[in-house]
Amino acid sequence: MMLDPAGWDALRLSLLVGVTATLLALPLAIWVAFVLARRDFWGKTAVNALVHLPLVLPPVVTGYLLLLSFGRTGPAGQFLEQTFGIVLAFRWTGAALAAAVMGFPLMVRAIRLAIEAVDPALESAARTLGAPGHAVFRTITLPLILPGVLAGAVMGFAKAIGEFGATITFVANIPGETQTLPSAIYALLQVPGGEDMAIKLVLWACVLALGAVVLSEWLARRVARGIAGT
């Protein structure tokens, strides 16, 4: 499945975007999932709806909202550029942000289900013995939900690898700069004779997705065996 230089660039950029988006979204996803699973507060339904909004909005709408907010003329975009020199629109970093936003609900959902499966009595017992909240989470909750965290990370990574609508709206389809696997496949299908290379990119996308799932299963089993052995 040899690719041309543009194909390798798209593959490399997809991996970079996928890993960056996953690392960017995962800590926040764990925190939000814990709050939604363990806390009752006013507006919880609204927060839950907001978290899952990217799942129901058309991806192009999400991408356009990101452009309005994080573009060079948007409030967040102007702040980041003027304060930190960070430009997201039409850059690979913007593609990572779009992928993180689109994958965030999937990560939160997987992790929240894992947290809800943990018996709250275990956490209560640790707090009764004097353990602070962060220690309870680090030593009891987090080890028990690691398989769910891994599942959420893989879902977020897979979503990032396959994201198209929000990404192309926010950062366009610039070869070598913002062109990921989906946008490269789309571009190849628009030109005569591009089908052969498009098929190769499709196969690479399948390999990445399957590899992520296999790695997740292997890690989850190791974690489960480690928890059972403690």
Instruction: Answer for the pair 11, 181: CB distance below 8 angstroms, yes or no.
Output: yes
Q: What is the pTM of this model?
A: 0.88
Provide the domain count of the chain. 1
Residues spanned by the domain of 141: 5-229
Rounded Cα distance, 50 and 35, in Å: 14
| DSSP string across 31-91 | HHHHHHHH---TTHHHHHHHHHHHHHS-HHHHHHHHHHHHSTTSHHHHHHHHHH----TTS
Instruction: Answer for the pair 167, 20: CB distance below 8 angstroms, yes or no.
Output: no
pLDDT tens, residue by residue, 54-79:
989 999 999 999 999 999 889 999 99
Count of all residues that appear for the chain in the document: 230
pLDDT tens, residue by residue, 112-166:
988 888 888 887 887 777 777 777 888 888 888 888 898 889 889 988 988 999 9
The single-letter code of the amino acid at 171 is V
The CATH number of whichever domain residue 177 belongs to comes to: 1.10.3720.10
Rounded Cα distance, 175 and 1, in Å: 20
